[in-house]
A and B are shown apart, each in its own frame.
Chain A
Amino acid sequence: MDRIPILKMGRFLLVTIQVDMHDRLALALQDDLTARITETGARGVLIDISALEMVDSFIGRMIANIASMARILDAETVVTGMQPAVAITLVELGLDLPGVRTALTVERGMRLLRSVLRAAGELEEPSDADDEGSDAGPAE
């Protein structure tokens, strides 16, 4: 069966969903991610869904489950790149993804995860030294 690849980058896990997932693939991702969080001690999970043209209640629930399970395993989850049409449809469908952090781009998502670690006193890097400064704005 196909699997969605999970990349490790420092203390974070990165997932880019590029395919129209069937339900078993979504469930496998949920299981694989929680296993990888435990194995690696990752402190953050970034899920990029910019290629997803649709999020239905099943995929929405999978995303919310990943965020809940990650939180229990002491990792923060951020979902990035949701297309506007997908966001509109999700709200109309009645799904509001409670407890899921979102960011518009992968860069902002990474910054959000780093800021969570920094706030917990676990990141020594100077603040935003490696970010582009062009879109500095209010905290996300």
Chain B
Amino acid sequence: MPVQRSDALPIRNASDVVAVRQLVRTRAQEAGFNLVDQTRIVTAASELARNTLDYGGGGRATVQVLTETGRTGLRMLFEDEGPGIPDIELALRDGYTTGHGLGLGLGGARRLMNDLRIESQPGKGTRVDTVRWR
């Protein structure tokens, strides 16, 4: 599907998480998402960017605006070279966490987006690929 626009941002610290949220907000507005959808997408971005930082040891976010026959989507990719997720089904379960969080990040982000895929190899890193369509 055609990518209209693509930007990548590093995620190395808590301020970078804020920068990712702001970029996603701008792109979601430009793509014409309504306020509730913008808020869903930005909240999902915040959860996933924080995961990249806290569990992946940092990485990068790529934000793309997609067009497909008659519809527009916002795609977000979060990649890290961290320890990976051994059991993805378990990681998606609400309340499951290996850190200090609430364990709502991945499962919550999946509910806020239309499609969320996780690829992870223990010891090699994690890639979360998610889209919301307008």
Smallest CB gap from A56: residue in B:
B46
A22: shortest Cβ distance to chain B, in Å?
A: 4
Contacts of A89 in B (CB 8 A): 36, 39-40, 43, 112
Does B42 make an interface contact (CB < 8 A)?
yes
Interface of B is mostly: helix
Nearest-neighbour CB distance to chain B for A3, whole angstroms, equals: 15
Q: Which residues of A contact B1 (CB under 8 A)?
A: none
Whether A54 pairs with B46 at a CB distance below 8 angstroms is yes
B interface residues, how many (CB within 8 angstroms): 26
Pick the contact of A23 from B14, B36, B40, B102 — CB < 8 Å?
A: B14
Within 8 A of A (CB), among B56-114: 94, 101-102, 104-105, 107-108, 111-112
What is B's interface to A at a CB cutoff of 8 Å?
Answer: 14-15, 17-18, 21-22, 25, 35-36, 38-40, 42-43, 46-47, 50, 94, 101-102, 104-105, 107-108, 111-112
- Chain A: residues with CB nearer than 8 A to chain B? 20-24, 53-58, 60-61, 83-86, 88-89, 92-95
- Not counting A23-B14, A24-B14, A88-B36, a sample of 5 additional A-B residue pairs whose C-beta atoms are within 8 angstroms of each other reads A54-B43, A60-B102, A86-B39, A88-B40, A89-B112
